[in-house]
Amino acid sequence: MSAIIVVTEDNLFTNEPIAVTEMADIMCAALTGAVGQVKTKVSEQIEDPAEVEKITKELFDCLNLSFSKCLENSFPEYELHPELTEEVLQKEDELLAQKVAEVESEKLQ
């Protein structure tokens, strides 16, 4: 019998017990497939390689942030790479300021 997995916005249910590692493998396989489909669609629909690269990087950053949040929510007692925390926060501030400047510049054009 195959396991049935139901995913809701804030929970996940199965009809039979599944090991955490097996569940992680299943979720990663599904996500990998979905990301592959998105990347294929982007490559098919956008001709500019620089734009494809930009969208791919944004997708990577989005997933990276989501995975980090998942780990932070699941294991709040651990700080992920504490030696990098301050550097990352500073870089995020710089990147956000740069993005805001770009958006404002585009609005003026």
Instruction: Return the structure tokens found at 70.
Output: 């998942």
pLDDT in tens, 78-106: 877 666 667 777 888 899 889 888 888 88
Report if residue 105 sits inside a domain.
yes
Q: Which residue range forms the structural domain that includes residue 103?
A: 82-109
The residues near 71 (Cβ < 8 Å, ≥ 6 apart) are: 78, 80
Q: Decide if 6 is inside a domain.
A: no
Residue 77: inside a domain? no
Residue 107 lies in a domain: yes
Q: How confident is the model over 53-70, as pLDDT tens digits?
A: 999 999 999 998 888 888
Number of domains in the chain: 1
- Residue 5 near residue 26, CB atoms below 8 Å: yes
SS3 7: strand
pTM of full prediction above 0.85: no
- The answer to whether the beta carbons of residues 13 and 4 sit under 8 Å apart is no
Residue-averaged pLDDT of the chain: 87
Whether the pLDDT of residue 47 is over 90: the answer is yes
Percent of the chain's residues with pLDDT above 90:
30
Separation of alpha carbons 96 and 102, rounded Å: 10
In a domain, 102, yes or no: yes
Q: 32: number of CA atoms within 13 Å, CB side?
A: 6
98 in any annotated domain: yes
